[in-house]
Amino acid sequence: QNPKCEFVAVPYPVINKGDVPEFGQYSSMLRPSYSAHITSANKYLKETTMLLDYAYSEEGNLLYNFGIEGDSYVMVDGYPKYTDKILKSPEGMSNALGIYVFSGPFATDPRYFEQTLTNPAQKEAIKIWSNTRAKEHKLPPLTPATEDSNRLASIMNEVNTYVDEMFLRFIIGQESIENFDIYIDTLKKMGIEEAIAIQQKALDEFNRR
């Protein structure tokens, strides 16, 4: 609400000026909180499959991303444009959108972002933050054997807690970066090398499929 306030996206850090960051924000295409699964207990396999598949049709894409034509959006020269019912809702745009879209197993239409990101700095931020090689380092969805999966979960529960804690301590200066080798040694004692081996085994199996 402060007209003098400006937002500027900061690129992810690199060692050399001009380098493309190796890591950054990258969401997997498979997100459990926005996914759907069909189990053997489903009595309406065909109908359920058709419903999920509908989201990837042209009509389904419009319905799930923009809502009801003539109500939450109108077509203008082939472009689905949100109505003021969404863009100028007294309850806020997010609440208005929540009535029609969100939380479903479907692909988000780029035209959604073009209209909901109202600040030019937001759109510029997407360009800056997406300019990374993070996708190249993202593992595919792996399925280790049951025994390996249980062991991996046991190791990573402890490791993730420790990593999150130390990440903050290093950043805010509570822990000297000179102790980074100690941090690595602690991870090894927690079993990180075994966890990597389990993931590598699962990746090798994935690549053989």
Q: Pick from 50, 51, 49: which is nearest to 38 by CA?
A: 49
Hey, is 73 helix, strand or coil?
A: strand
C-alpha distances in Å from residue 193, one per residue of 45, 57, 163, 172, 198: 42, 44, 14, 27, 9
**Do 120 and 190 belong together in one domain?**
no
Domain that holds residue 108: 32-135
**Do 152 and 131 belong together in one domain?**
no
Residue 2, in any domain of the structure: no
pLDDT, residue 102, reads 64
Residue 102, in any domain of the structure: yes
Long-range contacts of 136-142 (CB under 8 A, 24+ apart): 136/22, 137/22, 137/23, 138/26, 138/28, 139/199, 139/203, 140/203, 140/206, 141/28, 141/30, 142/199, 142/202, 142/203, 142/206
- CATH number for the domain spanning 82: value is 3.40.190.10
**Do 87 and 174 belong together in one domain?**
no
Residue 11, in any domain of the structure: no
Rounded Cα distance, 55 and 107, in Å: 8
Instruction: Look up residue 168 and give its two tokens.
Output: 């903050």
**Do 104 and 180 belong together in one domain?**
no
Along the 209 residues of the chain, how does pLDDT read in single tens digits? 787 888 899 999 999 999 999 988 776 666 666 678 899 999 999 999 999 999 899 999 999 899 999 999 999 999 999 999 998 888 888 887 877 776 667 888 889 888 888 888 888 998 999 999 998 888 888 889 999 999 999 999 999 999 999 999 999 999 999 999 999 999 999 999 999 999 999 999 999 98
**Do 110 and 157 belong together in one domain?**
no
pLDDT, residue 147, reads 92
pLDDT, residue 192, reads 98
Residue 84, in any domain of the structure: yes
Residue 53, in any domain of the structure: yes
Cβ–Cβ under 8 Å, residues 65 and 113: no
pLDDT, residue 131, reads 92
**Do 62 and 93 belong together in one domain?**
yes
CA gyration radius for the chain?
A: 23
